[in-house]
């Protein structure tokens, strides 16, 4: 693993956004995308037998890439509709909690082997404080998760989207743990119909540790169980990416900007255009790095 440091607002990409995410392909990112920074999916790694997992970790260490964070998801999560993900997502299903807790702890251990101190996940639909019993149950549940990760010095970031920003802020405040924060995904706020991305930055700013650069167009569904929009190429949707980046920078955010996008007939070309789109925004931020993000040497 590279000993270089991540530059302020350095542009990277999610490993699961690449159709070829084996290590030989990932090692070519500096050539194929002019990127060296990955938000690294750990779903595959936690499912490997011990010997194969050790080999996977060694390949990651030898890749020469930088890792902004690890990511873990859960078998059984169903993203078909808002109703299905509400029932199956994250740490909400009672019957799945203990198994998912063990999975998160295993991912945290792998992350630390790679020098990664941040793990991201979808926590599930967190109830508002007004739903007192469910709210307290989920607070205690997430305290168990974050306390377990603290033993490996890992910080857990919740993905934005499911909750209104004010509800998520209230939940994090009640959680009362230092090793917790937000992976800010502006497009999710559109897709879940949870709020305006630029306004959410002002509410959630104190907890934002990483940003996913993802875009989405608002759709026709205003209610019911259908998604409120559809993902699209960066810069072609309603996720307010210029305003979001400006708001984050103004608030002192100096973390990475990680592209998450799995669509497009020519995916690599779409990702390259997305990276340049983001760098163009970053270059225009007052006092921001002139090139927006450090490029591979």
Q: pTM score, two decimals?
A: 0.94
Fold classification of 11-283 (topology level) = TIM Barrel (3.20.20)
Q: Write down the pLDDT at residue 2.
A: 58
Q: Write down the pLDDT at residue 293.
A: 45
* Spatial contact of 23 and 59, defined as CB atoms under 8 Å apart: yes
The residues, ordered by sequence, that sit 6+ positions from 170 with a Cβ below 8 Å of its Cβ are 128, 129
Query: How far apart are the C-alpha atoms of 106 and 93, rounded to whole Å?
Result: 19
Place of tokens 């973390």: 255
Sign of CA dihedral 199, 157, 17, 220: negative
Q: Write down the pLDDT at residue 3.
A: 58
What does the pLDDT profile of the chain (297 residues) look like in tens digits?
Answer: 555 799 999 999 999 999 888 999 999 999 999 999 999 999 999 999 999 999 999 999 999 999 999 999 999 999 999 999 999 999 999 999 999 999 999 999 999 999 999 999 999 999 999 999 999 999 999 999 999 999 999 999 999 989 999 999 999 999 999 999 999 999 999 999 999 999 999 999 999 999 999 999 998 766 788 899 999 999 999 999 999 999 999 999 999 999 999 887 788 999 999 999 999 999 999 988 765 444 444
Query: How far apart are the C-alpha atoms of 107 and 72, rounded to whole Å?
Result: 7
> What is the bridge-based pairing of β-strands 37-41 and 11-14?
parallel
Closest listed residue to residue 17, CA positions, set 84, 62, 79, 71: 71
CA distances from residue 25 to 54, 63, 215, 237 in whole angstroms, order as listed: 19, 10, 25, 29
* Spatial contact of 247 and 288, defined as CB atoms under 8 Å apart: no
| Domains of the chain by residue range | 11-283
Burial class (CB in 10 A: 0-12, 13-18, 19+), 31: exposed
How many residues make up the chain in this entry?
297
């Amino acid at each position: 693993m590279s000993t270089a440091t991540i530059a302020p607002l350095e542009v990277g990409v999610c490993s699961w956004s690449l159709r070829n995410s084996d290590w030989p392909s990932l090692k070519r990112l500096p050539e194929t995308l002019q990127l060296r920074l990955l938000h690294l999916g750990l779903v595959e790694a936690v499912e490997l037998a011990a010997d194969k997992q050790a080999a996977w970790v060694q390949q990651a260490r030898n890749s020469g890439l930088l890792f902004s964070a690890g990511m873990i998801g859960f078998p059984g999560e169903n993203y078909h509709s808002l109703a299905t993900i509400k029932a199956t997502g994250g740490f909400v299903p009672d019957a799945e909690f203990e198994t998912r807790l063990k999975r998160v702890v295993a991912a945290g251990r792998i992350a630390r082997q790679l020098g990664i101190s941040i793990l991201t996940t979808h926590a599930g639909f967190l109830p508002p404080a007004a739903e007192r019993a469910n709210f307290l149950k989920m607070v205690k549940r997430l305290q168990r998760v974050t306390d377990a990760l603290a033993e490996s010095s890992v910080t857990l970031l919740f993905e934005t989207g499911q909750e209104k920003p004010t509800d998520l802020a209230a939940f994090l405040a009640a959680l009362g743990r230092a090793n917790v924060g937000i992976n800010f995904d502006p497009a999710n706020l559109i897709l879940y119909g949870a709020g305006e991305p630029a306004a959410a930055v002002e509410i959630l700013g104190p907890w934002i540790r990483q940003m996913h650069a993802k875009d989405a167009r608002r759709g026709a569904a205003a209610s019911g169980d259908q998604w409120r929009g559809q993902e699209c190429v960066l810069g072609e949707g309603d996720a307010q990416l210029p305003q979001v980046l400006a708001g984050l920078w103004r608030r002192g955010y100096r973390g990475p900007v990680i592209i998450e996008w799995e669509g497009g007939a020519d995916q690599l070309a779409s990702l390259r255009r997305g990276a340049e789109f983001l760098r163009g925004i970053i270059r225009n931020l007052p006092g921001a790095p002139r090139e927006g993000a450090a490029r591979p040497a």
